[in-house]
Amino acid sequence: VTYCFSMIFEWWYFRKYGTSFIEQVSVSHLRPLLGGVDNSSPINSNSSNGDADSNRQNVSECKVWRNPLNLFRGAEYNRYTWVTGREPLTYYDMNLSAQDHQTFFTCDSDHLRPADAIMQKAWRERNPQARISAAHESLELEDCATASILLAEEEATTIVEAEKLFKQALKTGEGCYRRSQQLQHHGAQYEAQHRRDTNVLVYIKRRLAMCSRKLGRTREAVKMLRDLMKEFPLLSMFNIHENLLESLLELQNYADVQAVLAKYDDISLPKSATICYTAALLKARAVSDKFSPEAASRRGLSTAEMNAVEAIHRAVEFNPHVPKYLLEMKSLILPPEHILKRGDSEAIAYAFFHLQHWKRVEGALNLLHCTWEGTFRMIPYPLEKGHLFYPYPICTETADRELLPMFHEVSVYPKKELPFFILFTAGLCSFTAMLALLTHQFPELMGVFAKAFLSTLFAPLNFIMEKVESILPSSLWHQLTRI
């Protein structure tokens, strides 16, 4: 029974963590005790350094990014909660947002202005109602851009209300930005204040552009985003170009989309699902309306079709979770406020906003459906070696489970397959334990059952033996039995 339960635990541990508990204990704890690791060996020292480098790489690969297209809490996330009764944001995700707000919207000199001092405490407050009350208290003292931002994000129940508050914040934010710009070289305190005012102004203008996009004024949104990128070209950490790409795709202005990609789809710049899949969409658009898998198998792929397929394979290698959402093989949820690049959270955020653009291009989803799984033949061991990108990071599943709500089934890549040996052993041990328990509790009944089972099992053999005895002469059968 103990062995049975140990095998069941081994099966559960493998399903949850993707590795054998017995193997992990043996390698991590027993091997050093048995002298399997020599700390004085230079080879081991090198391997330890390699493991440390690998760990540092995993940490950098699993960096969480602010979602460039994140929704409004009051006007969108909270409305979902009111309708469904489910929370679309996790505590971890909201805690990351609180840290972002404290970084972008506060500075060391806030205590000099009463309104900013109140907002500095408000951004640290966990209770939404307490944050909103603090923002109102701040506005009663004086016009405060960050207080209007908080109310637009969390109290406004419609995009129209949010836009009105952001315009109010813009008026105040521009005045603060101009004043701090003139004083930024007078000391470290003024420089920090100018940096904060710059972040506030960029955030407001970006959210106003997103309001215009959501209210159907897409051309206005494109102009605002272009002006913002021209005014603050060095603030690439905000990924404003992803907002611009989505708006241009809505206008079906594919030439301008290509121009933006030419600038940001560069080998020296970090990639994203938006960059890779938008590039694939543009390549697919050139051939998808006439693409037929039957015709392609007969005549082979043309150069344009090959380029489109390679672009799709590149996108799928970067984020293998996206196709299932674009092909509607998996249901979408509201995207989180933070995403993990190459993870399920990024795939949700991309598909949530870009699925309509793929549907608008005739045949694009059909081409994706026919070709996306071919990517995995080029990278049979994605955790060890990639084709165009670094190996797929192993930490994405854990981070995505923190970012995504409990009711969502997190997409896992590569899929963990349970070895047949573990399944067979667990089943055999469970069956043996059940028989032992029944025999202990009901010995007489199990004895009768065992006799009946054995007699049934050997009935065909007895039948064959009787037939052989009736056919062969008795003397010959006697000699065979003696031999």
Element (H, E) at 119: helix 114-122
* Centroid of chain to Cα 203: 24
Q: Who contacts 333 (Cβ-Cβ below 8 Å, separation ≥6)?
A: 88, 348, 404, 405, 407, 408
182-190 average pLDDT score: 80
What's the pLDDT at 58?
44
Query: pLDDT tier at 446 (50, 70, 90 boundaries)?
Result: confident
Residue predicted with more confidence, 441 or 352: 352
How do 338-340 and 64-66 pair as beta strands? antiparallel
Distance CA 121, CA 124 (A): 5
What's the pLDDT at 213?
95
pLDDT tens digits for 29-85?
Answer: 444 444 443 433 333 434 444 444 444 344 445 788 999 999 999 999 999 999 999
Distance CA 241, CA 120 (A): 30
pLDDT more than 70, % of the chain: 82
What's the pLDDT at 162?
95
pLDDT at position 347 over 90: yes
pLDDT at position 483 over 80: no
Among 50-59, 174-183, 394-403, which stretch is predicted with the lowest mean pLDDT?
50-59
What's the pLDDT at 37?
39
147-171 average pLDDT score: 94
Distance CA 244, CA 221 (A): 8
What's the pLDDT at 185?
78
What's the pLDDT at 61?
52
Query: pLDDT tier at 134 (50, 70, 90 boundaries)?
Result: very high
pLDDT at position 218 over 60: yes
pLDDT more than 90, % of the chain: 47
pLDDT at position 249 over 70: yes
pTM: 0.75
Residue predicted with more confidence, 144 or 428: 144
What's the pLDDT at 384?
84
pLDDT at position 383 over 60: yes
Which backbone phi and psi does 393 adopt, to 5 degrees? -70, 140
SS percent in the chain: helix, strand, coil, step 5:
75, 0, 25
Query: pLDDT tier at 166 (50, 70, 90 boundaries)?
Result: very high
What's the pLDDT at 18?
55
Ranges of beta strands (E only) in 265-370 are 338-340
